[in-house]
């Protein structure tokens, strides 16, 4: 892992350690002195000192707090996000930021994270210089990102050796606008990647949900059936192929009401008839990682059903879009930034280790595994027209 470089060697008396509640007053004072907007409140600082899904480190010298760095972790993924870093004004230029950053990267690697991402104001040349010297590379711009309307650069670094990703398309990220439309949101991301003229929007999202819903779930609104999503894609001019490892009606396991079960079975059978009528292939088998790789190699996009437990501990069926893969991970767009302090920035190209993905991509006691492969109409999946 490359080390951050500083222009001035940091004093050996500066120590990096985890933040503790006794640091709260000094952290709050540093936050107030360092930022004019987008400040962490005293309550949020207390929360992050105690939260499990973070690394919160401080730089201290002779009992004085000189800086802090806060990294957040997203569920079962291998992504770390540098959420905030601050150095006291009279301690800047002494290499403390670089030392903090290096310690945060090491702690993140120890938590099995492969990538560190961050946002930095485009006019903050000192911070950008620090990140660039540490090996971070800009990969995007966010306009009007901060409360004071400044733009931000998005930067990323591989903090643990990982092979180069392989992908066929740039996939736009779209946030689902309801708690139950992860399937439509995932499908719209795939369709927009395959046809740049398409723009994901809420009315289309809701139309697809009405077309693809199972009607009932264990509670709340019904989720989307893989057959329904495939039919919605077919209706909009795309080819679809379905993998499912069960032949009966899906998602009945957690439904107790016999009337609801009956309705869901009727919906399943209706979807099945329509899939057959439209010649949409259904493969009644586990979708393998080799199948996913081949689909991406061929220029297709894959919607995968996962259990959200490893993402948000809710044990709900949840649709995501697979955007890329390498020898270590699959990368997914998650349309639901529902976790605290989470934004869309934490949901794009999430690196999920292959072993974790195997466990995530099955749902319930019945171990339902299903995926929908979406490709351009009339292509062989690699962008070439059939002869």
pLDDT of residue 345: 64
CA separation for the pair 67, 140 (Å, rounded): 27
**In which band, very low, low, confident or very high, does the pLDDT at 113 lie, cut at 50, 70 and 90?**
confident
Give residue-wise pLDDT tens across range 368-380.
999 999 999 976 5
pLDDT of residue 13: 84
Lowest-confidence pick of 111-115, 218-222, 271-275 = 218-222
Stretch(es) of the chain classified as CATH 3.40.630.30: 15-158
In the prediction, which pLDDT does 256 show?
85
What is the residue whose two structure tokens read 């690699």? Answer: 382
Reported as a single tens digit per residue, the pLDDT across 92-103 is: 989 999 999 999
Looking at per-residue confidence, does 3 or 274 come out higher?
A: 274
* CATH number, domain 182-376, options 3.40.50.720, 3.90.70.10, 3.20.20.150, 3.90.550.10: 3.90.70.10
Q: How far apart are CA 182 and CA 196, in angstroms?
A: 21
Position 167 pLDDT exceeds 90: no
DSSP state of 79: E
State mean pLDDT over 158-186: 82
Q: Which residues contact 256 (CB under 8 A, 6 or more apart)?
A: none
Classify domain 15-158 at the CATH class level.
alpha beta
Numbered ranges of CATH 3.90.70.10 in the chain: 182-376
Question: Higher confidence at residue 313 or residue 323?
Answer: 323
Work out whether the CA dihedral 246, 337, 172, 70 comes out positive or negative.
negative
The strand order across the sheet containing 282-283 reads: 282-283, 238-244, 370-376, 301-307, 317-325, 329-333, 350-353
Look up the pTM and report it. 0.71
DSSP 371: E
Strand bridging mode 301-307 / 370-376: antiparallel
Q: Which residues are within 8 A (CB) of 380 and not within 5 positions of it... i.e. 6 or more apart? A: 298, 386
| Residue 320: strand, helix, or coil | strand
Cβ atoms within 10 Å, residue 206: 14
Q: How confident is the model at residue 322 (pLDDT cuts 50, 70, 90)?
A: very high
Residue of 12, 4, 47 whose CA lies nearest to 27: 47
Among 83, 380, 44, 363, which Cα is nearest to 226's? 363
Range from 15-24, 73-82, 288-297, 352-361 carrying the lowest mean pLDDT: 73-82
């Amino acid at each position: 892992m490359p080390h951050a470089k500083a222009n001035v060697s940091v004093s050996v008396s500066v120590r990096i350690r985890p933040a503790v509640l006794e640091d709260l007053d000094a952290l709050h004072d540093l936050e107030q002195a360092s930022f004019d907007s987008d400040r962490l409140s005293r309550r949020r600082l207390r929360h992050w000192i105690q939260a499990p899904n973070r690394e919160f480190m401080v730089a201290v010298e002779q009992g004085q707090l000189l800086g802090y760095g806060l990294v957040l972790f997203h569920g079962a993924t291998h992504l770390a996000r540098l959420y905030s870093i601050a150095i006291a004004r009279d301690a800047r230029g002494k290499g403390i930021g670089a030392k903090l950053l290096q310690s945060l990267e090491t702690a993140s690697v120890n938590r099995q994270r492969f990538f560190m991402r961050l946002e930095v104001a485009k006019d903050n040349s000192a911070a950008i210089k620090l990140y660039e010297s540490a090996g971070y590379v800009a990969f995007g711009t966010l306009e009007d990102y901060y409360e004071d309307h400044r733009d931000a650069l998005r930067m990323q670094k591989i903090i643990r050796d990982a092979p180069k990703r392989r992908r066929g398309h740039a996939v736009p990220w779209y946030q689902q606008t309801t708690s139950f439309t992860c399937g439509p949101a995932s499908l719209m991301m795939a369709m927009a990647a395959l046809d740049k003229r398409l723009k994901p929007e809420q009315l289309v999202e809701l139309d697809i949900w009405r077309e693809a819903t199972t009607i009932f779930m264990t509670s709340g609104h019904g989720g989307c059936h893989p057959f329904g999503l495939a039919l919605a894609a077919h209706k909009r001019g795309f080819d679809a192929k379905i993998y499912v490892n069960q032949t009966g009606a899906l998602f009945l396991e957690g439904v107790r009401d016999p009337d609801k079960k009956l309705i869901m079975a009727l919906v399943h059978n209706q979807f099945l008839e329509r899939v057959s009528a439209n010649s949409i292939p259904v493969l009644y088998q586990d979708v393998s990682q080799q199948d996913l790789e081949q689909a991406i190699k061929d220029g297709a996009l894959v919607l995968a059903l996962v259990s959200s437990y490893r993402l948000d501990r809710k044990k709900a069926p949840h649709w995501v879009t697979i955007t890329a893969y390498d020898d270590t991970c699959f990368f997914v767009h998650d349309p639901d930034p529902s976790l605290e302090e989470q934004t869309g920035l934490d949901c794009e190209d999430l690196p999920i280790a292959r072993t974790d993905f195997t466990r995530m991509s099955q749902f319930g006691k019945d171990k339902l595994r299903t995926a929908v492969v979406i490709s351009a109409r009339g292509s062989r999946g690699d962008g070439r027209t059939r002869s």
